[in-house]
Structure 1
Amino acid sequence: KLLMKEYQELTSTKPTYPRSNKQLADLTSRVEMLRQRKSVHEQIKHAEYTIDESFSGDDKYIKFYPRNKISGNRFVVGDLIKVITDILPGILTKSPTVKVNAGYNIDMYLATNPEVIKNTEIHAKITIVTRGTDLVDLAKDFFAKISRNVEMFTSFGSGWVISKINYIQLTVYKFKPATGSSYQPLPDKIIATRSCINVKNTDEKCALWALLSALFPVAKNPDRVSNYRKHESIIDMTGIDYP
């Protein structure tokens, strides 16, 4: 509303000074951004669905069936934005970091022989998601990748035509980092060199204690966490999820 008001004021009143082309271009760009956001908002508002969940170990598979068939045989970014912004915040409150993928289950038919029908799933790409991730941007990125993959599937003379989008699938995988989390004994060869400090922490702040041990060396028992606790607040770890 503020952008539209600004646009109307600046375009409806006679300027008292020459307005540069850059000013007009910047303003037009801002208004176009607003129009796009409004369009996405309308899509989100009307995207309703039923949910079917299944599990495999720690991994979660969620299928979203649009109630009002808003998508039909068209891919609508608002559907995916609503699914992701509705579901992931609750998951991220329990697990600060997860791996996520999104896709569409679709029916296709051959243009040369409509009786030949194929059901397939086309996905984006597994992405690491944290509490700091912009979920709307994530959904838009997924949507762009899925759309490209669909285009590749239906182009180049394949003859396949989308007849129906059955559901959106959101897959949430447990994040198993390859990085350090807590204390792990070093190999004997490295211990023998006496070149490494291996702090014996029992939490997931291995990276923090390693940094502090380098910044604040001690002569005695450098592997003890107690030597570095007094310096813990010196390094700003705001927004960083351990491990």
Structure 2
Amino acid sequence: MNINSVSGTSSELIKVIRKAIKLLKTKDEITRHIHLLRNNIKYLKKFIRIQIYTVNENPLRLESNLSILKCYLAKLKQLRHTLDKRGAGVAIRSRNLQWHDVESCFNGRLLTGIIVNLNIKDPLVFLKCAYKSFSIKINSMLRQSMLKVNVVLAGHFIQPHNLELDLKTFASKNAIIDVGTDLKQWYKTHVLDKLQAKLEEFAERDSGWALQEILHLKVNINSYIPIRGGVSTYVKVPHFIAMKRAVVNVINNDEYCFLWAIVSALFPVQNHNYRVSSYPHFSDVLNYESIQFPIKLNDISKFEKLNNLSINLYCVKGKKCFHFY
């Protein structure tokens, strides 16, 4: 590892802090390390914002190290809080999880955050408990666009024969989430099942490493635009909706399915309502200046104002439709 880089230096710092945390006993010792962590976090955040990376830098490692330092900071603050309460004779009610945003090295990312584990020992229990924080953030981000999401589970592992301690991570692949996604099922498939399988596979390699502590679940949330210029965004409606014969679904051969849907509502026809040739071209009757297509959810209100329209957006979940916008 190149310790002449910020990513290399911060990795070495993490090793030192990881060992030191286990030795802290007093409130003063904890407070000093909290200040140390805050200063280093501030420096890393500033460096990530500048984004002037040399050939020796590893942006992914920088982001990962910032996540770990923020996790350590949350744990130390929780430990200090516990000592304060215990010293005052107050009953201790500590939180099991905390969400913390993390500055990302990647400009296209909507949000990176970590769900810090403060008290939970079992990794599967932690992952199940983390769903609530995960779902809150995902549902908030879905108001901006479709999403492509992956997670990274980080934990301390120990070699029992020599007590060597090391950080191990287990990542899931990116998977798409939209407003119609069954989020609980998505989380089970892409987080719980995948990470459980990876943990079991790691244990079965006879590596000798044993899990000592789960640190955090890192969540990377990216905007996802499925199709761009020159390709059709037409999608067939589900069969149970098509059979009702109550929905017009124009078969467009471009990325403007939203605009064709609006035109079909404004200029209804009796015959061949699925053909674009049955309607005036949207460029002649609609104003969509400064809006990119496929349209994002947060641009619909702008479109409404430009055209003095009120639009309702419905989503399909299973065989149920619900009003989303």
Q: Does 1:153 align with 2:202?
A: yes
Find the aligned partners of 1:48 and 1:61 in 2 and give their Cα distance: 16
Going from structure 1 to structure 2, the CA distance change for 1:223 and 1:114 (only over 3 Å counts) comes to farther
Q: Which runs of 4+ in 1 moved over 4 A?
A: 179-183, 197-201, 206-209, 211-214, 226-229
The letter for the 2-side match of 1:57 is: N
Q: Which runs of 5+ in 1 are unaligned?
A: 1-45, 184-196, 230-236
Shift of 1:81: 1.3
Find the aligned partners of 1:168 and 1:217 in 2 and give their Cα distance: 47
- The correspondence for 2:155, drawn from 96, 103, 106, is 106
Find the aligned partners of 1:133 and 1:94 in 2 and give their Cα distance: 15
Give the match for residue 258 of structure 2: 205
Instruction: Report SS of the residue matched to 1:125.
Output: coil
Number of equivalenced pairs: 170
Find the aligned partners of 1:182 and 1:122 in 2 and give their Cα distance: 36
The answer (yes or no) to whether the contact 2:156–2:167 under 8 Å persists in 1 is yes
Q: Does 1:86 align with 2:136?
A: yes
Going from structure 1 to structure 2, the CA distance change for 1:111 and 1:207 (only over 3 Å counts) comes to farther
Find the aligned partners of 1:58 and 1:178 in 2 and give their Cα distance: 16
Going from structure 1 to structure 2, the CA distance change for 1:228 and 1:214 (only over 3 Å counts) comes to farther
The letter for the 2-side match of 1:99 is: K
Q: Pick the structure with greater CA Rg.
A: 1
Q: Which runs of 5+ in 2 are unaligned?
A: 1-94, 233-250, 287-312, 317-325
Shift of 1:169: 0.7
- The correspondence for 1:138, drawn from 165, 186, 200, is 186
The answer (yes or no) to whether the contact 2:252–2:260 under 8 Å persists in 1 is no
- The correspondence for 1:239, drawn from 315, 320, 323, is 315
Give the match for residue 224 of structure 1: 281
The answer (yes or no) to whether the contact 1:109–1:162 under 8 Å persists in 2 is yes
Going from structure 1 to structure 2, the CA distance change for 1:150 and 1:200 (only over 3 Å counts) comes to closer
Shift of 1:49: 1.3
Going from structure 1 to structure 2, the CA distance change for 1:48 and 1:107 (only over 3 Å counts) comes to closer
The answer (yes or no) to whether the contact 1:124–1:143 under 8 Å persists in 2 is no
Shift of 1:160: 1.3
Q: Does 1:63 align with 2:135?
A: no
Aligned-residue Cα RMSD (Å) equals: 4.0
The answer (yes or no) to whether the contact 1:101–1:124 under 8 Å persists in 2 is yes
TM-score by length of 2: 0.43
TM-score by length of 1: 0.56
Find the aligned partners of 2:274 and 2:203 in 1 and give their Cα distance: 57
Find the aligned partners of 2:151 and 2:129 in 1 and give their Cα distance: 12
Find the aligned partners of 2:117 and 2:224 in 1 and give their Cα distance: 29
Seq. identity, % = 18
| Larger RCO, structure (CA 8 Å, separation 6 or more) | 1
Shift of 1:91: 0.7
